[in-house]
Amino acid sequence: MSPVIEARALTKRYGGLAAVDGVEFSIRAGECFGFLGPNGAGKTTTVRMIYCASPVTAGDLRVFGIEVGDRPREIKARIGVCQQEDTLDPDFSVRKNLTVFARYFGIPAARAEERSRELLEFMGLWERKDARIRELSGGMKRRLAIARALINDPDLLILDEPTTGLDPQSRHQVWDRVRGLRRQGKTILLTTHYMDEAQTLCDRLVIMDHGKILVEGPPVDLVRSRVGKEVVEVEGYPPGLVQHARQSGWTFESDTGRLFIYTDSGEAVFTVIAHQFPSERCTVRTAGLEDLFLKLTGRELRE
C-alpha cells in the first residue's frame, strides 16, 4: 500500500534559515505518527507544508500520492487540521463554528447540522453547543478545534500540539478520542511536547531538531536501542564517580549537580554507587522517551 504521506529531501527556507532541512519520512495509512522536537525544531513548518498552507522550497512531498504543489484542493478536502494556535471564530457559537466550517467543504446544511451534533457529542461538548467561544475553557476550545477538524470526515487528521495547556482529565479525554479515531482507520499526525502523549499514542515518531530528523521509529524500540533499559539518576555524588563511570565505559551525562547513567543493568550500577560512591540520592528507573529526547537534543534552553 502506498504511504499516505511521503517526504523526500523536504526543505523549507525562510530567507537564510532552513526551518525544515532535507527531511525524509513516510507515514502509512492507519498509523498515528508523531513529530517531537524542541521549540523551533520545524514541526509546525513541516505539517503546514503537508496541509498545503505553506509552499515547499525544495524536495518532494506527496500526500495521498499527490504532489502537494499539483492538486492542493484535492489534498485539503481529505485532511482535517487542528492548528497549534486557536483559530476558532469568537463571534460564533460552538455549534456555528462547526456548521460554518462545514460550508467550506461544500457539506449541505442538513448534513452539516447532523455531523456537528455527532462531533460535539463525540468530543463531550454537546451541552455547550450554544455557548460563545469566549465562555469556553482552554480545554473545551481544544476539543472544539478537534471536532471542527473532523467535520469533513478526513482520512488524515493533523493535530499540532492538541493538548498543550490542558488539565490531565482533558488530556486523557483527547487521547481516548484520538485512539478511537485511529481504531476507525484514520491516519493521524501529531506534534507534541509531552513525552507520555507520544509514548501512549504514537505507533512511530520522529525527533526533530534544527530542521532535521534525528531518529525515527516506534517509541519503545527507539528508547531501548538509543538509551537502554534503565536510567540511574544520582544527586550529591562524590567527585570520584564521574571518573569511575568513564573508566567503566558507562554511558552517562551530567547537568548541574546530577548524573544520568544509561544502562541495561540498573541494579548493578546502583549497587556499585551505593557501596563505593555514597550519594545524597540515587534512583533507578525505566528509561523513557524523555531520556531519549534530552539525550538527542541536549539540556540547553531553546529560543
The distance of closest approach from Cβ of residue 194 to ligand ATP in the complex, given in angstroms and rounded to an integer, is 12
Q: Which of 31/160 has CB closer to ligand ATP?
A: 160
Q: Which of 17/66 has CB closer to ligand ATP?
A: 17
19 touches, from Mg ion, ligand ATP, none (C-beta below 5 to 8 Å by class): ligand ATP
The distance of closest approach from Cβ of residue 270 to ligand ATP in the complex, given in angstroms and rounded to an integer, is 35
Using the Cα atoms of residue 35, residue 167, residue 82 and residue 174 in order, give the sign of their dihedral: positive
19 binds ligand ATP per the rule CB under 6 A:
yes
Pairing of strands 5-14, 58-63: antiparallel
Residues binding ligand ATP: number (CB under 6 A): 12
Stretch that binds ligand ATP, among 33-41, 91-99, 197-205, 289-297 (CB under 6 A): 33-41
Q: Which residues contact 13 (CB under 8 A, 6 or more apart)?
A: 19, 57, 58
14 touches, from ligand ATP, Mg ion, none (C-beta below 5 to 8 Å by class): ligand ATP
Subset of residues 37 to 96 that bind ligand ATP, contact rule: CB under 6 A: 37, 39-45, 84
Phi and psi at residue 162, to the nearest 5°: -65, -20
Binding residues for Mg ion, per CB under 5 A? 43-44, 84
Q: Which of 19/79 has CB closer to ligand ATP?
A: 19
Q: Which residues contact 172 (CB under 8 A, 6 or more apart)?
A: none
Residue whose C-beta lies closest to Mg ion? 44
CA distance 24 to 215: 11
Q: Which of 41/232 has CB closer to ligand ATP?
A: 41
The distance of closest approach from Cβ of residue 245 to ligand ATP in the complex, given in angstroms and rounded to an integer, is 33
The distance of closest approach from Cβ of residue 293 to ligand ATP in the complex, given in angstroms and rounded to an integer, is 12
CA distance 93 to 177: 22
The distance of closest approach from Cβ of residue 98 to Mg ion in the complex, given in angstroms and rounded to an integer, is 24
Q: Which of 94/195 has CB closer to Mg ion?
A: 195
The distance of closest approach from Cβ of residue 160 to Mg ion in the complex, given in angstroms and rounded to an integer, is 6
- Which residues, listed in sequence order, are joined to residue 190 by a DSSP beta bridge? 34, 159
Q: Which of 272/294 has CB closer to ligand ATP?
A: 294
The distance of closest approach from Cβ of residue 16 to ligand ATP in the complex, given in angstroms and rounded to an integer, is 10
Q: Which of 45/163 has CB closer to ligand ATP?
A: 45
- Point out which residues bind ligand ATP (CB under 6 A): 14, 17, 19, 37, 39-45, 84
